[in-house]
Amino acid sequence: MVRAGVSEALRRALMTTAPVTIHRDISQASAAVTVEGTATGVVGGNLDAIRTEAGAGLPSLKGAILFLEHQRGTGLGEVDRALTQLTRTGAMEGLCGVALGQFLGFDQDVGDSTLGGWGIADVLRDRLTRLGVPVLGGLPAGHGLHPPTIPLGTQATMDTAEGTLMVQPAVV
């Protein structure tokens, strides 16, 4: 049975047991942030959800590819504070990679002299390159229109040279 408004192709995609491969989109704000390399690990993330749990029951992210995306609320400082908190609590120790999705609404910060010329890519680059793990920016996933479903807690492989994040299905 197909629900009204859901195309047959979309219904098949939602029910697939095939891996989901997401390709870098250079038009995304996070696309300018890349640290070369490959990583394989369990995928998990969302900046607010992870930050909220840091120090309050966040499971270890050791061996994980951390997927981060965020929708602008108060500004660049919110992303900077969240990444600083995750770093200081040790939550990001042992990561094997970081995959960056959409950071929507931050385009309004471009050229804002009160921010010292910094944009979202600068904040992400400053905080994440220090981790010494591969970072793949520009994934068109997050709060945008028609984002792909990324099953969290499943194995994934990230390849910055190919610009891909391949996530295994949550159900087989």
Do 158 and 141 form a contact (C-beta atoms < 8 A)? no
User: Tokens at residue 66, please?
Assistant: 């951390």
Q: Which residues of 26-60 are buried (b: 16+ CB within 10 A; e: fewer)?
A: eebbbbbbbbebebebbbbbbbeebbeebeeebee
Which residues of the chain register pLDDT less than 50?
1-13
Q: What is the pLDDT of residue 135?
A: 96
> What are the domain boundaries of the chain?
18-153
18-153 fold: Glucose Oxidase; domain 1 (3.50.30)
For residue range 7-34, what is the model confidence (pLDDT) as tens digits? 444 444 455 578 889 999 999 989 999 9
- pLDDT, position 145: 73
Under a CB-based contact definition with an 8 Å cutoff, are residues 73 and 41 in contact? no
User: Rounded to two decimals, what is the model's pTM?
Assistant: 0.83
Instruction: Choose among 64, 111, 129, 71: nearest CA to 91.
Output: 64
**81's tokens:** 């504070």
